[in-house]
Structure 1
Amino acid sequence: MKKFLDLLKEKIVVFDGAMGTNLMAQNLTIDDFGGANFENCSENLIYTRPDAVINVHRAFLEVGSDVIETNTFGGNTVVLQEFGIADKAYDVNFKAAQMAKNIAGDFSTNEKPRFVAGSLGPGTKLPTLGHISFLELKENYREQVRGLYDGGVDLFIVETCQDILQTKAALAAIFEFFEKQRVKIPVIAQVTIETFGTMLNGTEISAALTALEPFPIDVIGMNCGTGPKQMTESIKYLCENSPLPVSVLPNAGLPEVKDGAMFYDETPESFTKQVLHFAQDFGANIVGGCCGTTPEHLRLVVEQVERLSPKQRNANLVPSASSIFIQQPYMQDNSFLIVGERVNASGSKKMRDLLEREDWDGLVSLAKEQEREGAHILDVNVDFVGRNGEKDMHELVSRLVTNVKIPLMLDSTEWQKMEAGLQHAGGKCVLNSTNYEDGEERYLKVLELAKEYGAAVVVGTIDEEGMARTAEGKLKIAHRAYKQATEFGFEGHDIFFDPLALPISTGIEEDRRNAAETVESIKQIRAELPEANIILGVSNVSFGLNPAARVVLNSIFLHECVEAGMNSAIVNASKILPLNRFNEHEVEVALDLIYDRRKFAKENDTDVCTYDPLGEFTTMFQGKTAQSMKVDVSNLSTEEKLKHHIIDGEKIGLEDNLKLALEKYPALEIVNDILLDGMKVVGDLFGSGQMQLPFVLQSAEVMKTAVKF
């Protein structure tokens, strides 16, 4: 007899419809449920009215459904505890699975096999909002998973997911069971997109796909929440972007109460027409129904989809990280992926001070500031001597996930701290980092952690001999790590290589080529491992220089690395400037320093340095502050000052100059002839790579302020 996944390749598979709706249609009384304590506990009907559950299963099998779901939507111990029967979790699920399997067996033939999906619902507590911890929720799914499997289900369906972290907890319980028992059956994960266009916690469908795709699930889809009409755009997105088969089980429309009863507005005909559209035009592989759908709805669906073959889809998965809100592509249009570095105790004094005071609100504000400055991902590091890092990570990440829209990069030398953060993050994080310094065991431990929680990983070019300093050494480690990671099950796009930016500011001979070797290694890694990402903590290159010199060197080094093929950097966006802000001599000397273009002359058979860019660069910025790097516009005309406000993203003095301009020109003329001219320069700089996205956003914000004025 065919297996479920084989059937999925051959036809559009049809699931059953609503369990609850069709139980209530049998006019069950409170006594049927087992008394007042069990009102609406359909799982208890396994004991009190098993015939009512069998009636629903049989009705959907009779109309031709390929798969029926067990009556275990609320069968985890969290829900059963509310009815005082948590101790029966295994038995409830075992009996429900056995019952469904027996009746499915009565209808199953070689020509038309029938299957049973073990239903795992969301429960009543959202871990992202702190109602229950990730580990507690995972524990509460364990007995349900064991009972359903032992009862004979053919597959698991984690459905009606309203919180991605809850989905991950259920999947963690399933995959842990598979590993311990050395078994495997198919797994479906389905999210619920509400009428307002996201999951209950605000998760967009793209973010949900990004968060769930790394897990070894077999199907991803949607159910409940709305009718098919409201699901159209989300299902279209999944079918266009998911490399996995897609399922769609809508409600029979949006419910309303009529004459004291729940009414759904989709008739079998209107429901089927839309579901058929999902399969025929979008390429949905599984269709079925949720709340309000009856055997009559599914009878027509079965009749109509029988004539269809699965549509070939050319899914275009966007390699990304995600928060519980949004997807963040690794490859940014006309920019690099900016990882904000200020919520990092290793490099930010302000962060350390806030952490020491346990000012969690202050830390959240610091994170939001990074987001406003243009960071795409937020680096989070709580490594601080004398503190409990795991506790700090729990405290901080539990707040960040609901207050910051961008994804997180969990940064630590200790995997236990990264795991503490992962237990709060419903989105797809990046782990920073792993390497071979302590041998393969630790390298693989972080890979294992990333795989378990569905994260991407940063790999530093460090091996048992220490940090690789040459391009050749960095590339060799990258090849070794890439081979092991892909064999471990990672996609190339979920691997970030950090070829390490080491200081070139020490004057020590062995440090002179640190930057040049890093730039060369970026070129080689990009050429030989094109699917991987390349990331750097850019500011390390200028360690020890004064703040003004650091801004210039960091900005120019960043530009060189991006030109070489780096697509991500850990930076403080406010401490990076576009190249147009520097004069030619500053750029020239910085490049000489980066590529170690010292000049030597022979004196008494000895090479004597006649030009040292490090000395030149240091002298150039002696006594200067980062603030003094601003362009002096005091002698410019009002018109030119306004253009510089736009180009430099500078709001200070903007209103005064606008008032002066309004004395000479109409408002519309100022916008069209002066301000837009400034934006044109911004566009040209952006297009030529001299200005990065955060600065464009700053300019746009100044433009918006000026127009509003």
Structure 2
Amino acid sequence: MYCTKERLKELIKKQYLIIDGATGTELQNKEIKKESWIINGNNIEGCNEILNITAPNIMKEIHIDYLNANANIIKTNSFGAIPWVLSEYNIADKTYELAKAAALIANEAREEYLKNPNSKGDLNRDIFIAGSLGPGVKLPSLGQITFDEMYEGYTEAAKGLIDAGADIILLETSQDVLQLKSAVLAVNDAAKKLNKEIPIMVSVTIEKEGTMLLGTDIETAYTILSNLDIFSIGMNCGTGPDMAMRHIKKLSQISSLPISIHSNAGLPENRGGKAYYSMTAEEFADINSSFFNLEGLAFIGGCCGTTPIHIKALSDKAKGIKPKKTALEKPMPYIASLFNTVSIKQKPAPLMIGERSNATGSKIFRELMIADDMDGMLDIGIKQVKAGSHAIDVNAAWAGRDETEDITKIISAYVKQISLPLVIDAIKPNVIEAALKVYGGKSIINSANMEQGEEKFDAICSLAKRYGASIMLLTIDEKSMALTCEDKLRMAERMYNRAVNVHKILPHDIIFDPLTFTLASGDENSFSAGIETLNAIKELSKKYPESSISLGVSNISFGLKEEARKIMNSVFLYEAVNYGLTAAIVNVAQILPISKIDEKEIKLAKELIYNKNN
């Protein structure tokens, strides 16, 4: 069975694949009859996708023009074939029909081109149909449309494109990474149901200011999207190739995925009320040729204002040049908000995860949540940012309340105003998934364990893999919470093997939490809690060097007075980092530098931690 994904991998080792140019500006140059814009008695001029059923030959001509220019990938006229765009013309019910027609036209164009003895270009080259899907004008991260509504719409469009023979799905001109998450899941699910393997190319739009519309830069977009099941990542629209260079160069330094660029023919000028692009084909090809020096670049072409002449000039420039390998073989251990990328493995360690936005652990936060005081809850989050946290743990679990409603409200507010990545602190799969559907960043799920056996553990791991999140694994099984180093290691190994081998979660996205317990319970069994945890950290860091290790540090000091807790937590964190701890859930404002603690207090804390009085 022919596999497009494998063929693409093979080809991009040897040659650049040329993406065709603009559709919209090409259509503006065609003579389109007025009746071609009429559907159900209504004039819907501006909805280019309707031409797929009212004037299919026009789009076929455009495809053939680009094929004559030696394009390897032709994009279907389906950019706006999604319900929330078509609903503006009262034809949302035609999503499947228009998407399918778009792919059928592209396939017919390919067949006619290959059979025509007068066709120009290399007739022996590989030609792929890319089903183009845009974002529309509604952004899920701003609450303008729900994740599920987008998912359903993209599913319908993807079915039409795949049913009609699209080889690739191209999600382009994207402005919101949450929109892309929804689209990627929809396309992959649709393909799976149709028993097809369809590679997904993702392309974001970076504006002149240097970010996507919501403020996401290219590095952050890559961090979030590279954990999803996509084939390539890149840029289109927004700028010309000259202004795109710095972003593509940055992407080339961090990407383990093939990279694409199909930019505009410069920035548009307003001439007679229409967008005009002044960059000539020669200029366009010359500037784009500088991308050939970058690692990982595999796909190159045009967007707004580019014509078959531009694409022919570009294909001529690319001929005979071998692409360079990607800079990295796999993604790095990073998490991200919409605005920032943060390494899980901080230098110096640890990753400091703020613990105050927690209804279970913080009375103040809980009362604000119950009072529906979002300003107050945001203030707690912002204070943790200012205190030096690297990420913020969010927990909304409280008896008698709807945890799903609470956590989605909080995260929806935090995602717009908190610059740090969020840790989704929940143990119910439905709550975790609801939170992931409103969070565009790359999060950590806190947490999964084996307390209820493999079924629930599997459910949470599946969510981490599906939505591209990292995951904390707590050393708890069906019998107990692990107290000894031996038990902690045994449970960690069981969870790691299942997460990696069954769910295909990458090792660097696994964060072990070997648990620690209070030293102040008075129970002799807890006196060694500190040293058992430290020993487990040491062994885990040796055995799983790609993974990370975290602790809820304040657990060690439950039952002590406030000042004693500060000292104990600070000393224990210091010791744990020396043993290999890479992340810590703490009240950052309450952690003291070891140099600021009296030596006698440090000695006393260590005696308790290492159980030296026993």
TM-score band, normalised by shorter chain: over 0.9
**1:479-628 to 2 correspondences below 5 Å:** 479-487=493-501, 488-598=503-613
Is contact 2:66-2:311 (8 Å) kept? yes
Corresponding position of 1:402: 416
Q: Which residue of 1 aligns with 2:15?
A: 11
Report the 3-state secondary structure (helix = DSSP H, G, I; strand = E; otherwise coil) of the residue aligned with 1:466.
coil
Q: Distance in 1 between matches of 2:338 and 2:325?
A: 30
Name the CA distance, whole Å, in 1 between partners of 2:96 and 2:545. 48
Partner of 2:107: 101
Shift of 1:419: 1.3
Aligned with 1:10: secondary structure? coil
Quick one: which amino acid aligns to residue 274 of structure 1? I
- 2:326 counterpart SS class: coil
The equivalent of 2:180 in structure 1 is 167
Aligned pairs (5 A) from 1:213-292: 213-292=226-305
Structure 2, unpaired ranges of 5+: 115-121
Are 1:425 and 2:439 an aligned pair?
Answer: yes
- Tell me the equivalent position of 1:648: none
Task: Determine the structure 2 residue equivalent to 1:707.
Answer: none
* Contact 2:289 2:317 (C-alpha < 8 Å) held by counterparts: yes
Cα contact 2:297–2:326 (8 A) shared by 1? no
Match of 1:393?
A: 407
Distance 1:492 1:107 in 2: 47
Partner of 1:340: 354
2: CA distance between counterparts of 1:30 and 1:442? 58
Deviation at 1:110, TM superposition (A): 7.7
For the aligned residue pairs, the C-alpha RMSD in angstroms reads 1.5
- The one-letter amino acid paired with 1:14 is I
Aligned length: 599
Structure 1 residues 357-401: Cα deviation after superposition (integer angstroms, max 9, x where no partner)? 111121111111111111111100000011110111121111110
Counterparts of 1:203-222 in structure 2 under 5 Å? Answer: 203-222=216-235
List gaps (5 residues or longer) in structure 1. 600-709
Query: How far 1:211 sits from its partner (Å)?
Result: 0.7
Structure 1 CA distance for aligned equivalents of residues 102 and 475 of structure 2: 52
Q: Does 1:122 align with 2:135?
A: yes
Considering Cα pairs closer than 8 Å and 6+ residues apart, tell me whether 1 or 2 has the greater RCO.
Answer: 2
Whole-Å separation in 2 of the counterparts to 1:567 and 1:179: 38
Deviates more, 1:369-378 or 1:176-185: 176-185
Amino acid at match of 2:98: V
2:316 is equivalent to residue 312 of structure 1: no
Q: Does 1:449 align with 2:469?
A: no
Distance in 1 of aligned mates of 2:458 and 2:58:
51
Please tell me whether the aligned partners of residues 101 and 115 of structure 1 are also in contact (alpha carbons under 8 angstroms).
no
Q: 2:386 aligns with which of 352, 372, 376?
A: 372
Q: 1:434: which partner in 2?
A: 448
Q: Distance in 1 between matches of 2:414 and 2:540?
A: 33
Distance in 1 (alpha carbons) for counterparts of 2:72 and 2:434 = 41
For the Cα contact (< 8 Å) 1:142–1:173, is it kept in 2?
Answer: yes
Quote how far apart the aligned CAs of 1:130 are. 0.8
Matched position secondary structure for 1:363:
helix
Stretch deviating more after TM superposition (152-161 or 475-484): 475-484
Q: Which amino acid aligns with 1:466?
A: S
The question of whether the paired residues in 2 share the 8 Å contact of 1:459 and 1:497 is answered with: yes
Name 2:83's counterpart in structure 1.
77
Q: Which residue of 1 aligns with 2:159?
A: 146
Identity among equivalent pairs (%): 39
- SS in structure 2 opposite 1:252? coil
Alpha-carbon displacement from aligned partner over 1:643-666 (angstroms, at most 9, x marks no partner)? xxxxxxxxxxxxxxxxxxxxxxxx
The residue correspondences of 1:677-692 to structure 2 (distance < 5 A) are none
Residue 408 of structure 2 aligns to a residue whose secondary structure is helix
Residues in 2 aligned to 1:447 and 1:459: alpha-carbon distance in whole angstroms = 10
1:279 Cα shift?
A: 2.3
Q: In the alignment, what sits opposite 2:98?
A: 92
Greater gyration radius = 1
Letter in 2 for 1:174: V
Alignment partner of 2:45 out of 39, 61, 67: 39
Contact 2:295 2:327 in 1 (8 A): no
Alignment-mate amino acid for residue 47 of structure 1: I
Structure 1 residues 524 and 15: alpha-carbon distance in aligned structure 2, compared to 1, 3 A threshold:
same
Cα 1:462–1:419 shift into 2, 3 Å: same
Q: Partners in 2 of 1:219 and 1:281 — Cα distance?
A: 15
- 3-state SS in 2 of match to 1:229: helix
User: For residue 40 of structure 1, what is the amino acid of its counterpart?
Assistant: G
